[in-house]
């Protein structure tokens, strides 16, 4: 049985003191049967970690460089994240690809480095609005999945989660319908089967992300190939995040 994972991507929100408060509110949500992860900004990690200490809530970061250390101003290493208490790291989020020059190749390098250090990777893929309209969704997803997972082993895939996030649905309030989301998540699973075997595909958690909220989470998570959510806006509201976690627990 693959894991259901509900992860909150806080993006560039919350100062350290605000992060401590939000993490403390999330730490009060104790009654869940799925994996729950929060991914605050780097400077908030220690504070969030302290607030969730002793609970089952896990900590993640939003990016990780491929080098161990060195002259990479503004970047962060896997060792730094691990020592700050991270178990997960988001790689290749569409905002990184759109605004910070992230490519399939750098996504792959970051993924391999994070896995080699023992982090679990939430690898994001997703098509732009124009790509969906042009009917190229599957070819875009296929390229991102193949290149993002290039040279990984089936063993390493045990620590990889794929997040399908259609770019047109992120932060827009325009959620993909559960059928649209299911169709692509199922397609991603078929690609993983082709690359790593049917067993690995069955075990891999595939999340949906893009305006998932307290209202639509249950319906999306009821789909057979949607094993969790990567949540932005709604992850900043503890009451809403709690409802999404409950929907994940019911899966």
Q: Which residues are catalytic?
A: 93, 165
What residue spans of 160-203 are helical by DSSP H? 178-196, 198-203
171 counts as binding ligand PGA under rule CB under 6 A: yes
For the chain, what is the total number of helices (H) and then of strands (E)?
12, 8
Q: Least distance in Å: CB of 33 to ligand PGA?
A: 22
40 counts as binding ligand PGA under rule CB under 6 A: no
Contact 45, 59 (CB under 8 A): yes
Pick the binder of ligand PGA from 230, 243, 244, 245 (CB under 6 A): 230
Contact 86, 60 (CB under 8 A): yes
Selected range binding ligand PGA among 59-67, 71-79, 200-208, 229-237, rule: CB under 6 A: 229-237
| Enclosing H/E stretch for 217 | helix 217-221
Residues 6+ apart with CB under 8 A from 45: 59, 61, 81, 84, 85, 86
91 counts as binding ligand PGA under rule CB under 6 A: no
245 counts as binding ligand PGA under rule CB under 6 A: no
Cα(67)–Cα(110) distance, integer angstroms = 8
9 counts as binding ligand PGA under rule CB under 6 A: yes
- The tokens of 64 are what? 């990780």
Torsional class of 205: left (φ above 0), alpha (ψ -120 to 50), beta (otherwise): beta
Contact 241, 28 (CB under 8 A): no
Selected range binding ligand PGA among 19-27, 40-48, 50-58, 206-214, rule: CB under 6 A: 206-214
Pick the binder of ligand PGA from 228, 232, 238, 248 (CB under 6 A): 232
The residue count for binding ligand PGA (CB under 6 A) is: 13
Pick the binder of ligand PGA from 44, 165, 182, 225 (CB under 6 A): 165
**Coil, strand or helix: which one is 61?**
strand
Selected range binding ligand PGA among 22-30, 75-83, 210-218, 243-251, rule: CB under 6 A: 210-218
Cα(27)–Cα(21) distance, integer angstroms = 10
Pick the binder of ligand PGA from 201, 211, 226, 243 (CB under 6 A): 211
3-state secondary structure 88-121: EEEECCHHHHHHCCCCHHHHHHHHHHHHHCCCEE
Selected range binding ligand PGA among 96-104, 131-139, 143-151, 165-173, rule: CB under 6 A: 165-173
Closer by beta carbon to ligand PGA, 34 or else 212: 212
Q: Which residues, numbered 50-79, are part of the site for ligand PGA (CB under 6 A)?
A: none
Summarize as ranges the residues that interact with ligand PGA (CB under 6 A). Answer: 9, 165, 170-171, 209-212, 230-234
């Amino acid at each position: 049985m693959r894991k259901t994972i509900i992860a909150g991507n806080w993006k560039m929100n919350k100062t350290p003191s605000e992060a401590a408060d939000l993490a403390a509110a999330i730490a009060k949500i104790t009654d869940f049967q799925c994996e729950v992860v929060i991914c605050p900004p780097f400077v908030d990690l220690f504070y969030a970690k302290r607030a969730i200490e002793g609970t089952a809530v896990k900590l993640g970061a939003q990016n990780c460089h491929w080098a161990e250390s060195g002259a990479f101003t503004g970047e962060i290493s896997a060792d730094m994240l691990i020592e700050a208490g991270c178990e997960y790291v988001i790689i290749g989020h569409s905002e990184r690809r759109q605004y910070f020059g992230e490519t399939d190749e750098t996504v792959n390098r970051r993924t391999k480095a994070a896995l080699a250090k023992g982090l679990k990777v939430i690898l994001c893929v997703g098509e732009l609005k124009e790509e969906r309209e042009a009917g190229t969704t599957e070819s875009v997803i296929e390229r991102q999945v193949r290149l993002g997972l290039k040279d990984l082993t089936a063993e390493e895939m045990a620590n990889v989660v794929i997040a399908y996030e259609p770019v047109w649905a992120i932060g827009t309030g325009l959620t993909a319908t559960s059928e649209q989301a299911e169709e692509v998540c199922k397609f991603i699973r078929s690609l993983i089967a082709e690359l790593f075997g049917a067993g690995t595909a069955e075990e891999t958690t595939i999340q949906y992300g893009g305006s998932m909220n307290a209202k639509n989470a249950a319906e999306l998570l009821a789909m057979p190939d949607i094993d969790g959510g990567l949540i932005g806006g709604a992850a900043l509201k503890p009451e809403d995040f709690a409802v999404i976690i409950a929907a994940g627990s019911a899966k």
